[in-house]
Amino acid sequence: MKPKVLILRTAGTNCDAETDVAFQLAGAETDLVHIQNLISTKTNLSDYQILAIPGGFSYGDDIAAGILLAVEMKHKLKKALHQFVDDKKLIIGICNGFQVLVRTGLLPGTELNPQNDNEETAQSTTLAMNTSAKFECRWVELVTQQSPCIFTKGIKQHLYLPVAHAEGRFTAPPNVLTELETNNQIVLRYGNGTKLSTEKTAYPHNPNGSDADIAGICDITGRIFGLMPHPERFLTKWNHPRWTREELPDEGDGLAIFKNAVNYAITNLK
């Protein structure tokens, strides 16, 4: 039986179709669901094994990128989200979805508290305006880090994926960055792996100026994953910008991320 993936939609979401294709190619059954259907319980999150929050500009990124969707999820879906996490199910947030996850506190991994609806979930990191002060749209090299992340288990060390964002600069206080390093929660970094560890990857290879070149992180369990690059935009070699000039494998670098999630769900979840 195929695992079921809920791809969350709201006003301004624009990468849902690509994410849908990615999970279908990976072997999952998918539903594109508007958040109002979850809030009204017309659709139940508990019926799914994977939650995907795709890229885009949810609610026009008013106030800050992803913040309005994050507030809506924290206050209207708190119990459902807590149960989903407690059931050891998977969550991925891509680009705007990553922004949502850090603003809900689901990343780096703050516990939701369903017993107290008035309690705010702490936010310890953020995704701020790019240091270039402009929208960055380019393909970047990434280095996979040692981490517990389910989505990147066993994938190759060097990835090539596109980014497209204005608020993608991952930043956090020094103590939080140290904790992320200690817990191996940093999943992806910008760069090709040739620089010294004390150096920071220069623009445009680090397209947004993220602290410690961070492009993606997971929670301590590895089941919640957020990243700024778009794996759903490189599923086959024909998505690659140089596919007519290079010999490339049929499968794009991004597809393995979705396959890992589906395989985990098949093996571990009902």
Q: Catalytic positions, please?
A: 95, 230, 232
Q: Quote the DSSP letter at residue 156.
A: -
Between the alpha carbon of residue 69 and those of residues 92, 144, 267, the distances in Å are 15, 29, 31
Cα–Cα distance measured from residue 95 to residue 87, given in angstroms and rounded to the nearest whole number = 25
Pairing label, strands 158-165, 136-144: antiparallel
Cα–Cα distance measured from residue 128 to residue 172, given in angstroms and rounded to the nearest whole number = 10
Between the alpha carbon of residue 175 and those of residues 38, 96, 172, 199, 247, the distances in Å are 36, 25, 8, 19, 44
Cα–Cα distance measured from residue 123 to residue 135, given in angstroms and rounded to the nearest whole number = 24
Cα–Cα distance measured from residue 258 to residue 219, given in angstroms and rounded to the nearest whole number = 17
